[in-house]
Amino acid sequence: MDPTPVVLYNARIVDGTGAPPVPDGILVVEDALIRWCGPAREAPDDPDLHGATRVDLGGRTVCPGFIDTHVHFALPGPAANPLSGAGELVSYRTLKVLERLRSTLHNGVTTARDLMGLDAGFRRAVAERRVAGPRLLVAVSMLSQTAGHADFRLPGGIDALEAAVTFPGSPPGIVDTVDDIRTRVRVLVAAGADCIKLAASGGVTSPHDQPDWLGLRPDMVRAAVEEAEAYGGLPVAVHAIGEPGIAAAVRSGVRSIEHGYALTDELRAEMAERGQFLVPTLLETTTEPDPAQVPPAVYAKAVRWHRIAQESVARSVEAGIRVAMGTDAGLIAPHGQNLRELGLLVDIGGMTPLQAIRAATADAADLCGVGDVTGTLTAGKAADVVICGTDPLTDIDSLADPVHIHAVLKEGRVAIDRTGVLARAGLPELVVVD
């Protein structure tokens, strides 16, 4: 039997394209897809819809499912020391990941790009609805040179990334030659990676480097970009905080700069001209690490570089760089509070609420290569929908509170319905398959 269409009406539509909101809108969901979306006065007189289930949304705001382009589900956020996983069984760490996936989805994120930690098995389990979570894209591992941002080998002999963050079988992240990085990119392709994650600068949490040090050398970044392009045009995402690392990544033609705290005006102009994305991860910069859980050197780096980040991002927005929402959730920032990033893009980045929403929907989908599947409320795309109890264009910070996320649909299935607004819709729930 064909699924019965569901007409959601009396809704304020924010479609993710950056267009002004539609105050009296209709969204038609049929099976996993959006069938139609637009103003009520323009709704088609379609005989197939005469018997459709109709649900009055009571003036609530409807947005596309949001996309977080930079998360780490294998990491615990402020709930625990990032290295705590080194003392846990893999099965136990896996079960904790499942809770983080569920919380992230229930709070409005229907697609997420994990930039180190999860393997392709998690992506498959979510796609088959064996577990609840956002549509996943995975980088699997992060690549850097010895003593770079992927080198967490500690004096006692433990590789903290291998022990606490990645899962058995994930390719190692250390590459020290051009040939190494070409081979490792190919290994990651074979492991099912959706994108390639590099570190072209040092990092805040890594033990052997500083954020303003050059990480992977330009010839190695270029080699990775070339290999990724050869394997279906996989996007290359680059952790780059200090100027040398940012310059190496930008001029090697990567798809996105993750963090980009020390961008100069010259590099901003180059990024804008090339159409490269910036993922500023502001939520991380407003979540100070617990001094009791991190080494003093890490805490000092965080304080310094988070200030630089907040002073930089508005200039990057003004320069016309394409911005996609990413939070770095799991490292320091908590899981499930991803949409706090929207308010930070407005308050710190100088975006309008409409621009911030686009950064977390259409532009984020474009960065991740899923713009034909999701990112806007457009006919033919997945019915990834967030129903809000507030108007985010007048109170963008309200989306940070789950109480205002009244319902979430993923591919036309109910992930959560906190207020019962969809109770009459008859839509299937996002349940585990038999």
Averaged pLDDT in 10-residue chunks for the chain of 434 residues: 84 97 96 96 83 94 98 91 82 96 98 98 97 98 97 87 87 97 98 98 93 97 98 98 98 98 98 98 87 82 91 97 97 94 98 98 98 98 98 98 97 97 91 64
Strand partners, 174: 144
Report the alpha-carbon distance of residue 97 to residue 84 in Å, rounded: 14
Place of tokens 């991803």: 338
**What is the value of pTM for the model shown?**
0.97
Report the alpha-carbon distance of residue 116 to residue 131 in Å, rounded: 20
- Close Cβ partners of 392 (under 8 Å, ≥ 6 residues apart): 14, 61, 63, 342, 353, 357, 398, 399
Q: Looking at residue 202, what is its pLDDT?
A: 96
- Contact, 15 vs 27, CB < 8 A? no
Report the alpha-carbon distance of residue 168 to residue 287 in Å, rounded: 30
Q: Looking at residue 417, what is its pLDDT?
A: 97
> Residue 336: phi, psi to the nearest 5?
85, -5
